[in-house]
Amino acid sequence: MKYSNPVIKGFYPDPSVCKVEDTYYLVCSSFQYFPGVPLFESQDLINWTQIGHCLTRESQVQLGGVNSSGGVFAPTIRYHAGRFYMTTTNDTTRQNFYVWTDDIYSEWSEPVYVDQGGIDPDLYFEDGKAFFMSNGTGDDGIGGVVQCEINISTGAKRSPSRSIWQGTGGRYLESPHLYKIDGRYYLMAAEGGTEYGHMVVYARGDRLSGPFEAYPHNPVLTNRNLGGYELQGVGHGDLVQDGNGHWWMLHLGFRQIGRWLTYHHLGREVFLTPVTFGEDGWFTAGHDGLTLTLFTTDRIPETVRQRGKKLDTFENTDWALDWCYLRHPEKSNYKLQNDRLLLHGTDVALDEPASPTFIALRQKDFDATIACEVLLSAREEGEAGITLYMDENHHYDLAIRSGADGSRSVIKRLNIGDVKSVEQEIKLGREGAVRLLIRSGHERYHFFLVEDGREIPLGTAQTRYLSSEVAGGFTGVLIGLYAVGQDVSAEFTQFICEYV
């Protein structure tokens, strides 16, 4: 059968996967967004359904004052002795921790902290012992992939933290994962930075503490030399074996907006690539070490069909699964209903590293139509509408604005770095709900006010200014609904996000 990449679209970076019986479970990074660490399940590796989050309570993760692309970094999910573990880093507080659950569909524990630095932690279990890895610096001051034994009940170290591998020489060694396969230990990691030079590398050894011998043909997977190819930034992978003995890698990558336009704004996404072990015990990945947009494989039955959701509405999305907030929200400002959303604004604006009244979906494809009806109630200055949000300094807003004199208008505002500019404004002559419309393409967003079925254009904006190449950071564009102003309330209805 044929399957298309990515298998999970939009800003779901740094995937980690484990298999329990006939089901695969996958987690991703969430950074400053809450709830933290999206959790998915699949029966076939290509169709994934979100079933929850690992961090759903404020007590589990500190996000107050966290800047964009701070907070929760790359997680790892593992299963041992009937229990699921998810370990991750809060990069802002510089703490590594893990949470656990005996029921994957229920709540996860309070955090258990590990006194080892670095980021991108991993857990490995063997012979009743638990080992913790991260990329950082060992107790002896040597950097690289650092390992220690821990008490899995308390997180306390049972051995010194020691660097067991320094990688292959590429910059930003990260994402270490350890496996035991056919009697050998395999240590896989990423190098090159999570950008266009990203790559997966690995080594193997006879003991879990090393020494490790690097694969002679590293990197085992990278798209770094494919100029003009849509899929770029391939790296940060995790291995899993299916029920038929085949190996796969779930890893991140991103889609650039055009053949010669090296910008990406949808974020880093989840890709699936086949892995093959040779008779010599080394493995290869993908098509000659490349990840493709379309793979043909006999490893997945022809009866399996890859599904794709083309329409998001209030009615067919789940507020607790599909939507997210910036940092820890004040829940009293949100009323979430089946067919409508009621928001109460505060003085916190979208440009602040705080928690404005904001709830959002990840943008999952380039070509989309985004629209909703907005009814604004305001006694003072304020606004409410749709934001295409990358971070505090990079977002495009289409909103209804209320003036101190009671006037109302629809604005299109571009926020690009230090430039905050209302590019278009149309005065509204009547009360009542207003329909806002955005059409998204690879290279541009197009903004409209809809009145009496007539689309009134408010201009366009280039997608590249919301890209990681311009904004920096590790996230992607979210489609946010927001309200700003202490005396502002807004009702959102008839929301759609339809992908072509």
Name the residues annotated as catalytic: 14, 174
Measured distance CA(81)–CA(444) in Å, rounded:
50
**Contact partners, residue 114, CB within 8 Å, separation at least 6:** 87, 96, 97, 98, 121, 132, 150, 155, 157
| Sole residue written with tokens 């070490």 | 289
Identity of the amino acid at 294: L
* C-alpha–C-alpha distance, residues 122 and 128, integer Å: 17
In order, the DSSP letters of 72-132 are: B---EEEEETTEEEEEEEETTTTEEEEEEES-TTSPPPPPEEES--SEEEEEEEETTEEEE
Q: Are 261 and 254 in contact (CB under 8 A)?
A: no
For residue 201, give the amino acid letter: V
Cα–Cα distance for residue pair 310/500, rounded to 1 Å: 7
- Determine the Cα–Cα distance for residues 267 and 476; give it in Å rounded to an integer: 4
Q: Contact, 307 vs 47, CB < 8 A?
A: yes
**Distances in whole angstroms, Cα of residue 443 to Cα of each of 35, 169, 229, 266, 461:** 30, 36, 16, 12, 9
418 and 394 Cβ atoms separated by less than 8 Å: no
Residue type for position 363: Q
